[in-house]
Amino acid sequence: MTAETLHTDVAIIGAGPAGLLLSHLLAAQGVESVVVENRSREYVGARIRAGILEQSSVDLLTDVGLGERLAREGDQHRGIHLQFPQERHHLDFVDLIGRSVWVYGQTEVTADLVAARDADEQRFFYSISDTRLHDIDSDHPSVTFTDADGSPYRLTADAIAGCDGSFGPSRSAIPGGATWEKTYPYAWFGILADVAPSTDELIYAWHPNGFALHSMRSDTVSRLYLQVEPGTDPASWSDDRIWDELATRLGHGQDGWELTAGPITDKSVLPMRSYVHAPMQRGRLFLAGDAAHIVPPTGAKGLNLAIADVALLAPALGDLVRKNDARLADAYSETALRRVWRCTHFSWWMTTMLHRSGDPFEEQLQLSQLRWVTSSEAGATGLAENYAGLPFEV
């Protein structure tokens, strides 16, 4: 069967938040794009991922007309709670640095972006297969794929944006370069529960039994995590065991605080790793989001890093396509990686400070670090600056 040939300014591989936001920002510059995605539209819209937006991410989404529902339904937090045995401390980011964070899940961000792109008649191909990239070192790269009905396509473009995550074809299309990877010796057991949160803001807890986190998705849905061994089977934990362990690690009864249990609707185990690929571009192919880097979730950086990448990439592609000016495009990888490494370090630091390793010496170092962060304005300010978000140009 002969492939149908299409042309667009920018071919975007991946219909997650990075790809959708990139198409939105490009459209504002008059740059056309086509978005292709190997998953179904329903699958992409239902994915449960990160729930924290940095101030910089919120500002960008608001500036480009995507902040109306976020402002109405999102939950603005002034800071976080840090907890270790017999102590819980609140770090107020607004007092420390004048910035806050927002609880607004990736599912909601995706829904807002899809609605905006549909209104703009964005062209999508979902449930594609056999995706391949061609001629990325030329001025006319292309993507070939088979659509959901089995019809082959060749999509030619002036540039390709690989926003297709760590398992997509884009990263492997940039051979050579350098990669850095760290696999952590623990995992997160994630629990979604139909119960109102028992806290006003996130609780990050160090405990001899292991790390715990109390987060939330809405006023009626809680998201909670327990440190477990990699490869843990979620079915091996009963609901009662989960709530008992959460109560222990989060300090139920401490200073009158109580953890409220409720129906658990989802259980999953998330392995934890850090990964950075450099460069983030080759020829006319540019990587963004998880296609270029992965961070453990402790620092709430994954979605925000993807947004930061796209905030840099959109004007670079706009200049490249509309003005034949490659200066920003040529600098994209180097500029983006400065922020990627800063966020990678912060995520590693938060992770290693809060997760029990089993080494008594390391445990004392962790507690010393936690005491310093919660008693020193300099320590608290450093955490707040990184958690609430650095400027996109860092």
User: Letter for the amino acid at 351?
Assistant: T
- In the block, tokens 């995520």 appear at 347
Burial class (CB in 10 A: 0-12, 13-18, 19+), 252: middle
Q: What is the pTM of this model?
A: 0.94
Q: Which domains does the chain have, with CATH numbers?
A: 4-76+102-180+273-357 (3.50.50.60), 193-270 (3.30.9.10)
Taking the C-alpha atoms of residue 51 and residue 49, their distance in angstroms, rounded to an integer, is 7
**DSSP three-state, residue 265:** strand
Strands (E), 38-121: 52-53, 75-77, 79-84, 87-92, 101-103
Helix (H) or strand (E) holding 190: strand 178-193
From first to last of the 394 residues of the chain, give the pLDDT tens digit.
788 999 999 999 999 999 999 999 999 999 999 999 999 988 887 776 668 999 999 999 999 999 999 999 999 999 999 999 999 999 999 999 999 999 998 889 999 999 999 999 999 999 999 999 999 999 999 999 999 999 999 999 999 999 999 889 999 999 888 999 999 999 999 999 999 999 999 999 999 999 999 999 888 999 999 999 999 999 999 999 999 999 999 999 999 999 999 999 999 999 999 999 999 999 999 999 999 999 999 999 999 999 999 999 999 999 999 999 999 999 999 999 999 999 999 999 999 999 999 999 999 999 999 999 999 999 999 999 999 987 765 4
- In the block, tokens 């910035």 appear at 99
Strand order in the sheet with 75-77: 52-53, 101-103, 75-77
Burial class (CB in 10 A: 0-12, 13-18, 19+), 183: exposed
Q: How far is CA 48 from CA 51, 117, 275, in A?
A: 9, 20, 21
Q: Catalytic residues, which ones?
A: 77, 204, 297, 301, 387
Residues in contact with 118: Cβ distance below 8 Å, sequence separation at least 6, in sequence order: none
